[in-house]
Chain A
Amino acid sequence: MADCLRIDAASKHFGGLKAVDQVSFTIQEGALAALIGPNGAGKTTLFNLIAGAMPLTSGTITCYGKTVREPRNACRMGIARTFQNVRLFHELTVLENVMVGMSGAGFLAASLRWPGQVQAERLRMKRAYYLLERVGLEDLSAARAGEIPFGQQRLLEIARALALEPKLLLLDEPAAGLNRTETGALATLIRRIHQGNITILLVEHDMNLVMRLVEQVIVLDGGKKIAEGTPDAVRNNAAVCAAYLGG
Chain B
Amino acid sequence: MTSSLPQPISPLRLYRGPLLLLVLIILLPLLTLLAHGRYGYLLPLAQLCGIYAIIVTGLTLLMGFTGQVSLGHAGFYALGAYTAAVAATRCSAPLWLAILLALCAGALVSFLTGYSLLRLTGHYLALATLCLGIIIYGLINNLEITGAAAGLTDLPQWKVFGLLPGHPLAKVYFIWGIVLLVILWAVHLSESPVGRALRAIHGDEVAAASLGVNTFATKLKVFVISGVLAALAGVLYAFVYADSYLGPEEFNLMFSVQLLIMVVIGGLGSVWGGLAGAVVLTGMHELITLVGEKCGSTDMAKYEQLIFGLILVLIVIFSRDGLIPGVRRGLARLMQPRRC
Question: B-contacting residues of A (Cβ < 8 Å)?
Answer: 51, 53, 70-72, 74-76, 80-81, 83, 87-92, 95-96, 99-107, 110-113, 117-118, 121-122, 124-126, 128-129, 138-139, 141-142, 160, 163-164
The 4 tightest CB contacts between A and B, nearest first, are A104-B193, A89-B203, A110-B192, A101-B211
CB atoms of B195 and A110 under 8 A apart: yes
Residue of A nearest to B195 (CB): A110
Q: Which of A76, A95, A110, A163 is B193 in contact with, Cβ under 8 Å?
A: A110
Q: Given that A88-B204, A89-B207, A100-B196 are known contacts, is A122 also in contact with B188, CB under 8 Å in the complex?
A: no
Contact residues of B between 194 and 218, Cβ < 8 Å to A: 194-197, 199-200, 202-204, 206-214
Please tell me if B162 contacts chain A, counting CB pairs below 8 Å: no
Q: How far is the CA of A125 from the CA of B193 in the complex (A)?
A: 11
CB atoms of A110 and B188 under 8 A apart: yes
CB atoms of B210 and A105 under 8 A apart: no
Residue of A nearest to B204 (CB): A87
Please tell me if B296 contacts chain A, counting CB pairs below 8 Å: no
CB atoms of A99 and B189 under 8 A apart: no
Please tell me if B337 contacts chain A, counting CB pairs below 8 Å: no
Q: Which of A74, A83, A101, A142 is B6 in contact with, Cβ under 8 Å?
A: A142
Q: How far is the CA of A160 from the CA of B210 in the complex (A)?
A: 11
Residue of B nearest to A100 (CB): B200
Closest chain-B Cβ to A92's Cβ sits at a distance in Å of 6
User: Which B residues lie within 8 Å of A95 (CB)?
Assistant: 6
CB atoms of B194 and A91 under 8 A apart: no
Q: How far is the CA of A71 from the CA of B214 in the complex (A)?
A: 9
Closest chain-A Cβ to B61's Cβ sits at a distance in Å of 11
CB atoms of B6 and A105 under 8 A apart: no
CB atoms of B3 and A92 under 8 A apart: no
Residue of B nearest to A118 (CB): B8
Q: How far is the CA of A99 from the CA of B212 in the complex (A)?
A: 12
Closest chain-A Cβ to B202's Cβ sits at a distance in Å of 7
Please tell me if B221 contacts chain A, counting CB pairs below 8 Å: yes
CB atoms of A107 and B194 under 8 A apart: yes
User: Which A residues lie within 8 Å of B8 (CB)?
Assistant: 118, 121-122, 125
User: Which A residues lie within 8 Å of B211 (CB)?
Assistant: 75, 80, 100-101, 160, 163-164
User: Which B residues lie within 8 Å of A81 (CB)?
Assistant: 210
User: Which B residues lie within 8 Å of A51 (CB)?
Assistant: 210
Closest chain-B Cβ to A157's Cβ sits at a distance in Å of 9
CB atoms of A129 and B210 under 8 A apart: no
Closest chain-B Cβ to A64's Cβ sits at a distance in Å of 17
CB atoms of A110 and B189 under 8 A apart: yes
Q: Beyond A89-B199, A117-B192, A160-B211: 12 further Cβ-contacts under 8 Å? A: A74-B210, A75-B210, A89-B207, A89-B208, A91-B202, A92-B203, A100-B213, A104-B194, A106-B194, A122-B7, A124-B193, A125-B8
User: Which A residues lie within 8 Å of B188 (CB)?
Assistant: 110-113
Q: How far is the CA of A124 from the CA of B211 in the complex (A)?
A: 15
User: Which A residues lie within 8 Å of B269 (CB)?
Assistant: 91
Closest chain-A Cβ to B161's Cβ sits at a distance in Å of 24
Closest chain-B Cβ to A202's Cβ sits at a distance in Å of 16
CB atoms of B199 and A91 under 8 A apart: yes
Q: Which of B2, B197, B225 is A139 in contact with, Cβ under 8 Å?
A: B2
CB atoms of A101 and B212 under 8 A apart: yes
Q: How far is the CA of A105 from the CA of B211 in the complex (A)?
A: 15
Scan B209-249; emit 1 where CB is below 8 A from any A CB, else 0.
11111100000010001000000000000000000000000
Q: Which of B194, B199, B207, B208 is A83 in contact with, Cβ under 8 Å?
A: B207
User: Which B residues lie within 8 Å of A106 (CB)?
Assistant: 194
CB atoms of A126 and B5 under 8 A apart: yes
User: Which B residues lie within 8 Å of A142 (CB)?
Assistant: 6
User: Which A residues lie within 8 Å of B2 (CB)?
Assistant: 138-139
Please tell me if B185 contacts chain A, counting CB pairs below 8 Å: yes
Scan B1-44; emit 1 where CB is below 8 A from any A CB, else 0.
01101111000000000000000000000000000000000000
Closest chain-A Cβ to B211's Cβ sits at a distance in Å of 4
CB atoms of A121 and B193 under 8 A apart: yes
Scan B168-206; emit 1 where CB is below 8 A from any A CB, else 0.
000000000000000001001100111111011011101
B202, B212, B225 pick with most chain A CB within 10 angstroms: B212
Q: Given that A89-B203, A111-B188 are known contacts, is A100 also in contact with B197, CB under 8 Å in the complex?
A: yes
Q: Which of A100, A111, A121, A139 is B208 in contact with, Cβ under 8 Å?
A: A100
CB atoms of A99 and B196 under 8 A apart: yes
A74, A81, A113 pick with most chain B CB within 10 angstroms: A113
Q: How far is the CA of A96 from the CA of B208 in the complex (A)?
A: 12
Q: Given that A51-B210, A71-B210, A139-B3 are known contacts, is A89 also in contact with B193, CB under 8 Å in the complex?
A: no
CB atoms of B189 and A107 under 8 A apart: yes
Q: Which of B189, B204, B209 is A71 in contact with, Cβ under 8 Å?
A: B209
Closest chain-A Cβ to B57's Cβ sits at a distance in Å of 13
Closest chain-B Cβ to A46's Cβ sits at a distance in Å of 16
Closest chain-B Cβ to A169's Cβ sits at a distance in Å of 12
CB atoms of B212 and A103 under 8 A apart: yes
